[in-house]
Structure 1
Amino acid sequence: MSAVPAHTDAVPAHPDTVPARADWRDTLREATDLALLGFAVALAALPVLTLAPAVATASAALHDRSVTGAWPDARTSLTRFGRALPAGLAVSAVALAAAALLAADLLALTTGRVPGGGPALALTAVVVAVLLGYAGLVAVAVGRTGGRGWRTAALEVARTCPQRPGTWAAASGVCALAVVLGVLVTPVAVPILGGYALAALHALDARHPVLAPDLS
């Protein structure tokens, strides 16, 4: 007498089953995380010269988020911030000096104290946007190495940007838009724009990544 196979209610998984799509709560959670990241950068950058270490730490956190799907813990971020301080202080000083010179140039052109008029002002604005895009890609490259290696990242991005003019132009557009919106919105919202802009740069660079600097 043949055995009767046991009945089971289990339904085999369909090979074409796709994972559930993210809903509005996931989108809201991601937006909140990026806003908090922006405020964390603003808080860490209050001494002004700690701006570069703060950006480097935030960039490293975004890189971890894109690779592992999770944010690093507070201890890891604090350790990265401390390691980024020595070189980051010098980077901040150079970046702030360059920003002050460019701002003074734009102000002089706008008020008519320097000849050139509209064409000179437009050219200077383009140069500023291009430099911002370059700086944004350098910040992304630094994030890929845990927030360190500014010099190597700057040289690597300078080498690869001419080979990726589209990505460079898009990064410049992201940074320029963030600056324009930062002027228009209330000051309390500026850190939020910073977090969103850095995340946008990471998403942009993910399509054609800058090679991570070799820190060995």
Structure 2
Amino acid sequence: MSAEPARRDWRDTAREASDLALLGFAVALAALPLLTLAPAVATASAALHDRGVTGSWPPVRTTLARFGRALPAGLAASAVGLAVAGALGADLLALAGGRVPGGGPATVLTAGVAAALLGYAGLVAVAVGRTGGRGWRDAARAAAGTCARRPGTWAAATGVCCLAGLLAVLVTPVAVPILAGYALAALHAVAARHPVTRPEAP
């Protein structure tokens, strides 16, 4: 007769909630120079992947080593992501201020493109976490394949990212970093339900 699995109680839930909050603060701290945003997210995603596979967080030494290995390619990924975000943000501000033609329809279209790209970026973050925080090109290709084959997964990831962005505007600034850990965990949950194709490790 097999033993029944241990039942979870409120202490397990509180422990996981605090772990995700700490993860969010760690991501925010590591991403302070802005160009380290992608390496920070990749390292946190790898830690969440380990947590989901093994049931425990990776050792601190492993996490720091992953962050160091993720820096070279991650800096370039950060630069690309920030450039795209800046361009879309400038377009939205120009449309909202009436400085360029297009009005409401163009604003809605641009906002939709921005939201879709956020969802895609979330799936890339999950995919790169599955290879220890490395392999951005393979992760980008894998996430693109997932978006094409499973648009529902893409939509769910987009919803997670948009909700996190909305909450970031509504909550007090000190609580914003907490959202990073919870949003990344939600993206991993979405991908676990509809798996993102695992990229090959470089």
Equivalent in the alignment of 1:194: 180
Instruction: Compare the two structures and name the one with the higher helix fraction.
Output: 2
One of 122, 131, 155 as aligned partner of 2:108: 122
One of 174, 185, 203 as aligned partner of 2:171: 185
One of 129, 132, 155 as aligned partner of 1:143: 129
The aligned amino acid for 1:210 is: V
Q: CA RMSD in A?
A: 1.2
1:51 aligns with 2:37: yes
One of 129, 134, 156 as aligned partner of 2:120: 134
| Matches of 2:166 and 2:84, distance apart in 1 | 19
141-150 or 108-117, larger mean C-alpha shift = 108-117
Q: Which runs of 5+ in 2 are unaligned?
A: none
Q: Deviations over 1:122-152 (max 9, x none)?
A: 1111111100000000000000000000011
| Matches of 1:104 and 1:21, distance apart in 2 | 50
8 Å contact 2:127–2:199 — kept in the other structure?
yes
1:155 aligns with 2:137: no
The aligned amino acid for 2:17 is: A
8 Å contact 2:46–2:129 — kept in the other structure?
yes
| Matches of 1:29 and 1:196, distance apart in 2 | 13
The aligned amino acid for 2:146 is: T
How far does residue 16 in structure 1 lie from its aligned partner after superposition? Answer: 7.3
| Matches of 2:2 and 2:40, distance apart in 1 | 44
How far does residue 183 in structure 1 lie from its aligned partner after superposition? Answer: 1.3
One of 21, 31, 46 as aligned partner of 1:60: 46
- 1:82-121 to structure 2, matched below 5 A, reads 82-121=68-107
Q: Which runs of 5+ in 1 are unaligned?
A: 1-14
Equivalent in the alignment of 1:18: 4
Corresponding pairs, count: 202
One of 29, 35, 41 as aligned partner of 2:27: 41
Q: Deviations over 1:83-127 (max 9, x none)?
A: 000000000001001110111111111112122222221111111
TM-score (norm 2): 0.96
How far does residue 17 in structure 1 lie from its aligned partner after superposition? Answer: 5.6
The aligned amino acid for 2:40 is: A
SS of structure 1 residue aligned to 2:165: helix
How far does residue 161 in structure 1 lie from its aligned partner after superposition? Answer: 1.1
| Matches of 2:119 and 2:7, distance apart in 1 | 32
| Matches of 2:19 and 2:174, distance apart in 1 | 16
Asked which structure has the greater CA Rg, the reply is 1
